[in-house]
Amino acid sequence: MDSLALRKIAIDRELAAKYVATPAIGRLMPAQRPARLRRKGPVFWAALALLVLASDFLLALLAWLAVDLVMS
Average confidence (pLDDT) over 23-45:
65
Distance (Å, rounded) from C-alpha 58 to C-alpha 51?
11
Distance (Å, rounded) from C-alpha 46 to C-alpha 37?
19
Distance (Å, rounded) from C-alpha 55 to C-alpha 64?
14
Distance (Å, rounded) from C-alpha 30 to C-alpha 57?
45
Question: Is 63:70 a contact under the CB 8 Å cutoff?
Answer: no
SS3 for 41?
A: coil
Q: Which residue has the higher pLDDT, 33 or 2?
A: 2
pLDDT band of residue 11 (cuts 50, 70, 90) is confident
